[in-house]
Structure 1
Amino acid sequence: GENLPNPELPPIGPSGIDVNTLRQTTDPMSAAKIEEVIDAFARAAADAKRLGFDGVEIHGAHGYLIDQFFWKETNRRTDEYGGDLVGRTRFASRIIHAVRKAVGSQFPIIFRFSQWKTGHYDAKLARTPVELEDFLTPLTEAGVDIFDCSTRRFWEPEFEGSRLNLAGWTKKLTGKPAISAGSVGLNREFTNVFDGGPEAETASIEPLVERMQAGEFDLIAVGRALLADAEWAQKIHHSREKEIRQFTKEALQSLS
Structure 2
Amino acid sequence: LWHVGSVRKEGIEPDTSVPGHSPSGLFKPGRENGVAMNQQDIDEVVEAFAQAAADAKAIGFDAVEVHGAHGYLIDQFFWQGTNQRDDSYGGDLVSRTKFAVEIVKAIRARVGADFPIIFRFSQWKQQDYDARLANSPEELKTFLTPLVEAGVDIFHCSTRRYWEKEFEDAPENGHMNLAGWTKELTGKPVITVGSVGLNTSFVGEEHGMNMSAQAGVEAGSITQLNDRINSGEFDLVAVGRALLQDPEWVIKVREERLDELED
Kept in 2: contact 1:14–1:28 (CA 8 A): yes
Structure 1 residue 201: Cα displacement: 2.6
Given candidates 203, 206, 231, the residue that maps to 2:218 is 203
Is 1:145 aligned to residue 153 of structure 2?
yes
TM-score of the superposed pair, with normalisation by structure 1: 0.91
Structure 1 residue 63: Cα displacement: 0.5
Q: Deviations over 1:193-233 (max 9, x none)?
A: 9489x943321211111111110000111111011111212
Given candidates 78, 103, 107, the residue that maps to 1:70 is 78
What is the percent sequence identity of the aligned residues? 57
Structure with greater helix percent: 1
Structure 1 residue 43: Cα displacement: 0.2
Structure 1 residue 236: Cα displacement: 2.2
The whole-number CA distance in structure 2 between the counterparts of 1:104 and 1:34 is 22
Structure 1 residue 29: Cα displacement: 0.3
Structure 1: which 5+ runs fail to align? 249-256
Structure 1 residue 23: Cα displacement: 1.9
Instruction: Look up the match of 1:226.
Output: 243
* SS across alignment from 2:198: coil
Is 1:79 aligned to residue 87 of structure 2?
yes
Runs of 4+ off more than 6 Å: none
The whole-number CA distance in structure 2 between the counterparts of 1:114 and 1:86 is 16
Given candidates 186, 199, 203, the residue that maps to 1:187 is 199
Equivalent AA in structure 1 for residue 74 of structure 2: I
Is 1:14 aligned to residue 31 of structure 2?
no
The whole-number CA distance in structure 1 between the counterparts of 2:13 and 2:200 is 31
Equivalent AA in structure 1 for residue 234 of structure 2: F
Bigger shift: 183-192 or 54-63?
A: 183-192
The whole-number CA distance in structure 2 between the counterparts of 1:27 and 1:163 is 41
Instruction: Look up the match of 1:136.
Output: 144
Kept in 1: contact 2:20–2:35 (CA 8 A): no
Structure 1 residue 5: Cα displacement: 4.5
Equivalent AA in structure 2 for residue 9 of structure 1: V
Instruction: Look up the match of 1:166.
Output: 178
Given candidates 189, 195, 214, the residue that maps to 2:231 is 214
Kept in 2: contact 1:154–1:180 (CA 8 A): yes
Equivalent AA in structure 2 for residue 177 of structure 1: P
Paired residues in the alignment total 244
The whole-number CA distance in structure 2 between the counterparts of 1:5 and 1:209 is 42
* SS across alignment from 2:175: coil
The whole-number CA distance in structure 2 between the counterparts of 1:208 and 1:61 is 22
Bigger shift: 174-183 or 224-233?
A: 224-233
The whole-number CA distance in structure 1 between the counterparts of 2:191 and 2:13 is 28
The whole-number CA distance in structure 2 between the counterparts of 1:238 and 1:211 is 19
* SS across alignment from 1:180: strand
Structure 1 residue 239: Cα displacement: 2.5
Instruction: Look up the match of 2:107.
Output: 99
Equivalent AA in structure 1 for residue 24 of structure 2: S
Structure 1 residue 242: Cα displacement: 1.8
* SS across alignment from 1:222: coil
Is 1:37 aligned to residue 37 of structure 2?
no
Is 1:57 aligned to residue 65 of structure 2?
yes
Structure 1 residue 150: Cα displacement: 0.3
Structure 2: which 5+ runs fail to align? 1-5
Instruction: Look up the match of 2:3.
Output: none
The whole-number CA distance in structure 1 between the counterparts of 2:13 and 2:248 is 30
Equivalent AA in structure 2 for residue 33 of structure 1: D
Structure 1 residue 117: Cα displacement: 0.4
TM-score of the superposed pair, with normalisation by structure 2: 0.88
Instruction: Look up the match of 2:188.
Output: 176
Given candidates 232, 235, 248, the residue that maps to 2:252 is 235
The whole-number CA distance in structure 2 between the counterparts of 1:26 and 1:179 is 32
